[in-house]
Structure 1
């Protein structure tokens, strides 16, 4: 193959140049002749040929990249911990890993959990329901499932409450996957009559919400 007979693409790709470089080299041409024909620096020509001689290819080789700071086993440990207790903080996970290896930054832990679909989310606050409450609500829903629209238009919903938030602060987060916001382990339960300072009563109907009334003192039948 002669350099003078070589057709070089007007806008050749990197791989095309490397293959052409190799073909010319195999035809017995010097680095200088190849450099002139392909308009490539002589150092580039030499590097392409060296790669072919060492690896048997001129294509880009896979890069090893930076070694991961968290091993697959440690990743499984992190996932197990937050699955068992979604309120576990990244600092607590960091301390857990530090007991078996060098310290890993908490941001690295958050990124690794995120790659596994676990993201820190503000937990929803829902009324703590006993098994009896759950059973009663489900029974009511089934009983009235097929009631006509006028039944609901003439229904008034009322409730009074004094709410105390218990457990950790409201600024906490939970590790959870998408569409799991209302799973029991991912919510902050609230409880009635737990020592709050204000009792309120409210109502709503199909037409909209009613007025919220503040109750002073004990809520009895006369006040109700």
Structure 2
């Protein structure tokens, strides 16, 4: 537009930007022949794109490994701090894995049978049911937490969940019944 004789002020009002922006863009194009930013000066990153892709593949296959183990699995010779920053750049964090109850094939079959048997129940049918909610607390030494490298969206992926088995510690179990919309005393 500027080459056609249109003024900077007219171009700025047409584009909805300040006139200084239009002036700087025209000057940059006349000096360089393009309007893209120049490359950022400074030291190049330790890990190139190929190394980052390799790190992503290693994390996908070995998401439960420690940072030291991951360092040994990749080919790039960099520090743990650099690997940790690169993992964060990939959007992954070291998180405590969600617990998933162990379900045997028999349990899965029984749950599916229950769902199919009660598929057509109405709200009134469900209001006649006494619901029990259970919370269990292990007494004794704390259970070790399993960590996994994952993104926030992978919170409930099966690969990033830890199967919860009985640990052999004493359990304290509390039940809380409720009927329709009324809560009853804890048992």
**TM-score (norm: length of structure 1):** 0.55
Matches within 5 A, 1:9-88: 13-14=23-24, 16-17=26-27, 57=33, 62-63=38-39, 65=41, 66-88=43-65
Alignment match, 1:102: 77
Identify, as 1 or 2, the structure richer in strand: 2
| Partner Cα distance (1:94, 1:76) in 2 | 14
| Partner Cα distance (1:118, 1:179) in 2 | 10
Contact 1:202-1:210 at 8 Å conserved across structures = no
Aligned pairs, number: 166
Alignment match, 1:156: 130
**TM-score (norm: length of structure 2):** 0.64
Higher RCO, Cα 8 Å, sep 6+: 2
| Partner Cα distance (2:114, 2:88) in 1 | 40
Distance 1:163 1:136, change over 3 A: farther
| Partner Cα distance (1:105, 1:124) in 2 | 26
Instruction: Return the index of the structure with the highest Cα Rg.
Output: 1
Contact 1:123-1:188 at 8 Å conserved across structures = yes
Match for 2:105 among 131, 135, 139? 131
Q: Which runs of 5+ in 2 are unaligned?
A: 1-8, 10-18
